[in-house]
């Protein structure tokens, strides 16, 4: 544990197998970050497993995947990790990286992550200004008939709008530059339309990529007929190629440094809040409400609610009604400050992380002002709960107490006299978000199994249980302990419903038979 007081700087990029551009881009950015944060030990990580494997095979060089890098830092005893992404947008690779990081937040005293190149509106303006400066240099000898064209990678992720946002800024500011993508929007056909419309004859072709690697050398400047170089020449344009990755520009290197510095400064700002104020120590409480009936709250949960100054209530939809508020309402004091906050239930990982980060900062600020602050969660807060994402961001920064709640499947079993497990029987709690093949495998392996998150697969799961002769050894309940509760002791009756509630659970016990059948 020799490094217990030291900090680690982890720089994460997609990676490249092209050594010439790697030195000018990735390694140049890494050097700028190392120079700016000399009190941190430097580590490198890439998100492309394919490139990592290629370097290992070709050069016998070991580059760590993000989870491997974080495991190594844990092993070496680091307590604080400062991470800077070299990704250009908050796209698929960036979100993959953040999902990995989120699993490690509770294992370190501190993990801070600098945002990628394009996140805030100011970031877009900054990059637009750089493109303007480069384009003016490219076209200075023939401003009227020439322009710079930038090739981005593109993405199927929701962040695809990042490219269109840059292209719009270029057009809006009358900058002689155009941006399109290989795998997204705008496409090269869209760009060609506007190039001809604007009377452009000569093109300075550039990669809007961190490195000038495979995509730049082949998709952009390759000699085959499908490359951008060939397409643009076939359309009658004179083309000059510039093989500079975005990471070569000092302004981009400086931006990555600035983004990490911003994250560190924000953390310091929160840390010093109220340090000089004479306030009573605050505390944060994560409170399990149970499955839905107000009478199923524990005595401790009710007593905790009564002593709070502020209570955070999760909303699934902006402006929507908080489901848990109905449950805890009988226990709330009239003077309690209620803060309803939106927790997105979408597949946009970036949107969810931004929500969790913002709410966590607000909670920290409240607690450090001496407030007793609570957050309520359906069921048990440590089981498939949004609360855990908050906990990862709050732990070791403020005082926290988590109060358990009755889980929905425990209530289903008790309310319907349906045993879960006996003696040495194992029991599996399984979220049905994977394939039907995997769900069926779990059912075959265990005599007692709780199937949660079944609402999207209820019909095929019921059919599978029927085929295995387990229909009379199963129970299905939607909205357990809530006003709209539905109980299906014969699960076959639920097979042809038009829709299923999000809060639907199926319990199977091969060793029990239900009463009243």
Catalytic residues: 153
List, in sequence order, every residue forming a beta bridge with 341; answer none if it has no partner: 314
Instruction: Decide: 237 and 201 in contact? Cβ < 8 Å.
Output: yes
From CA 268, how far away is CA 273, in angstroms rounded? Answer: 9
Give the span between the Cα atoms of 420 and 436, in whole angstroms.
Answer: 23
Pairing verdict, β 474-478 and 40-46: unpaired
C-alpha dist (Å) from residue 334 to 98, 345, 397, 440: 40, 30, 30, 50
Find residue 180's DSSP bridge partners. Answer: 151
Written as six digits, the tokens of 497 are: 């419903």
Alpha helices in 103-227 (DSSP H): 121-139, 161-172, 188-197, 214
User: Does the N-terminal peptide bond of residue 186 adopt cis geometry, omega within 30 degrees of 0?
Assistant: yes
Count of CB atoms situated within 10 Å of the CB of 464: 15
Distance CA(30)–CA(36), nearest Å, equals: 10
Dump the DSSP string for 395-414.
TTTS-EEEE----HHHHHHH
């Amino acid at each position: 544990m020799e490094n217990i007081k030291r900090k680690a700087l982890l720089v994460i990029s997609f990676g490249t197998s092209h050594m010439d551009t790697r030195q000018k881009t990735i390694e140049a950015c890494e050097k700028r970050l190392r120079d700016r944060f000399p009190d941190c030990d430097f580590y490198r990580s890439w998100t492309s497993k394919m490139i990592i494997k290629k370097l290992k095979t070709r050069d016998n060089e070991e580059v760590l995947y993000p989870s491997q890098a974080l495991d190594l830092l844990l092993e070496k005893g680091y307590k604080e990790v400062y991470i800077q992404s070299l990704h250009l947008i908050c796209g698929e690779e960036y979100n993959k990286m953040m999902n990995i990081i989120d699993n490690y937040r509770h294992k370190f005293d501190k993990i801070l992550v600098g945002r990628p190149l394009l996140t805030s509106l100011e970031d877009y303006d900054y990059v637009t200004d750089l493109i303007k400066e480069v384009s003016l240099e490219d076209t200075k000898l023939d401003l009227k008939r020439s322009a710079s064209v930038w090739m981005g990678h593109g993405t199927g992720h929701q962040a695809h709008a990042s490219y269109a946002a840059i292209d719009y800024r270029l057009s809006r500011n009358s900058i002689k530059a155009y941006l399109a993508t290989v795998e997204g929007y705008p496409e090269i056909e869209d760009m060609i339309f506007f190039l001809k419309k604007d009377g452009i004859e000569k093109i300075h072709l550039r990669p809007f990529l961190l490195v000038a690697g495979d995509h730049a050398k082949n998709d952009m400047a390759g000699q085959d007929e499908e490359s951008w170089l060939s397409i643009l020449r076939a359309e009658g344009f004179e083309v000059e190629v510039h093989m500079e990755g975005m990471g070569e520009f000092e302004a981009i290197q400086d931006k990555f440094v600035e983004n990490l510095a911003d994250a560190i400064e924000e953390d310091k700002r929160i840390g010093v809040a109220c340090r000089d104020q004479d306030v009573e120590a605050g505390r944060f409480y994560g409170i399990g409400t149970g499955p839905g009936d107000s009478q199923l709250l524990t005595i401790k949960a009710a007593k905790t609610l009564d002593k709070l100054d502020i209570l955070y209530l999760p909303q699934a939809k902006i402006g929507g009604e908080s489901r848990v508020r109905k449950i805890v309402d009988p226990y709330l004091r009239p003077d309690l400050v209620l803060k309803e906050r939106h927790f997105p239930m979408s597949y946009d990982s970036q949107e969810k992380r931004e929500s969790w980060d913002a709410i966590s900062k607000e909670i920290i600020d409240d607690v450090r002002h001496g407030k007793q602050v609570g957050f309520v969660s359906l069921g048990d807060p440590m089981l498939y709960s949004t609360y855990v994402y908050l906990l990862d961001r709050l732990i070791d920064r403020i005082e926290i107490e988590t109060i358990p709640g009755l889980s929905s499947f425990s209530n289903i079993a008790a309310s319907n006299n349906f045993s879960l497990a006996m003696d040495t029987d194992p029991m599996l709690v399984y979220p049905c978000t994977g394939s039907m093949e995997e769900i069926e495998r779990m059912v075959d392996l265990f005599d007692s199994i709780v199937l949660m998150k079944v609402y999207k697969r209820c019909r095929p799961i019921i059919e599978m249980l029927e085929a295995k002769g387990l229909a009379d050894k199963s129970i299905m309940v939607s909205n357990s302990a809530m006003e709209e509760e539905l109980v299906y002791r014969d699960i076959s009756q639920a097979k042809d419903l038009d829709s299923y509630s999000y809060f639907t659970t199926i319990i199977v016990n091969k060793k029990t038979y239900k009463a009243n059948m």
